[in-house]
Amino acid sequence: MLEAILHGFILALGLILPLGVQNVFVFNQGATQSQFSRALPVIITASICDTLLISLAVLGVSMVVLEYEWLKTALLSSGICFLLYMGFVTWRSKPMMDQQDDKGSFSAKRQIVFAMSVSLLNPHAILDTVGVIGTSSLTYLGVEKIAFAVSCILVSWVWFGGLGIVGRMSGKLDKSGRFLFILNRISAIVMWGTAGFIGFKLI
C-alpha cells in the first residue's frame, strides 16, 4: 500500500512540475486576481479536470478512446486551435495593479472555460496522464490501485492550490505590473510553442 502511495506521489509530482500551459495559467490567474478567493475557480477546475483524467487513465477508459486515430487527430487539432487562441488573449491582456479594480482579471466563468480548455484540450497533459499514470497503474490491483490513483489526484489539488497562493503573493509584491506583463508574454509564448510542437507532430 505504502509503495503504491509513494509511487503515485512521485510520478504525479514529476509530471506536474515542468512549466506547461496549465501551470502558467493557474499561476497567472493567482497573480492577476485582487484576492486569492477570486482565483479559486481556476484552481478547482484544473484540479477537477486532472482528477477526471487520472481516474479515466487508471480505469483504462482513456486508453481505449485514444486507440482511434481519427479521434486522436481531432483532439490534437482542437488543442492547437485553443492554444493559439488562448495565447493571443493572454498576450493582449494587461494586468491591472489597482487592487480595487478587477477589470483586467478573468471572470469566474472565463477562468473555468480556459482552465477546462488547457486541461482537457491539451494533448500533452492527456497523453502524459494516459501513457504514464495509466500504464503505471496496471502494476496494482484493488485497494493498491485506488491508493495509487488517490495519491496522484491529491498531488494535483495541493499543487494547483499552492501555485495559486504563490501567484497571489507575487501579484502583491509586483506593484509596477512589470512582472505580470512579462508573465503574460511568457504564458503566450508557452501556449504558442506547445501548439507549434503539436502541429509539427501532426505533419
User: How far apart (Å, rounded) are the C-alpha atoms in residues 30 and 106?
Assistant: 10
- Across 36-64, b (16+ Cβ under 10 Å) vs e yields bebbbbbbbbbbbbbbbbbbbbbeeebee
C-alpha cell, 44? 478547482
pLDDT at 42: 92
99 pLDDT band (50/70/90 cuts)?
very low
Write down the pLDDT at residue 62. Answer: 61
Average pLDDT of the chain, as a whole number: 81
Measure the CA–CA gap between 110 and 187, rounded to whole angstroms. Answer: 17
Per residue in 37-70, pLDDT (tens digit) is 888 999 999 999 999 989 988 887 766 666 777 7
Predicted pLDDT at 161:
94
Confidence of residue 125 (pLDDT cuts 50, 70, 90): confident
Question: What pLDDT shows up at residue 172?
Answer: 80
Q: What is the pLDDT of residue 68?
A: 74
| Number of Cα atoms under 13 Å in the Cβ half of residue 169 | 6
Which own/partner pairs from 140-148 qualify as long-range (CB within 8 Å, at least 24 positions apart)?
A: 140/4, 143/1, 144/1, 144/3, 144/4, 145/4, 145/58, 147/1, 147/4, 147/5, 147/8, 148/4, 148/5, 148/7, 148/8, 148/58
pLDDT in tens, 130-174: 778 888 888 888 899 999 999 999 999 999 999 999 988 887 877
pTM of the model: 0.78
Q: What is the pLDDT of residue 100?
A: 42
Instruction: Please give the pLDDT value at position 203.
Output: 67
Which tops the pLDDT comparison, 47 or 28? 47
The predicted structure's pLDDT at residue 16: 83
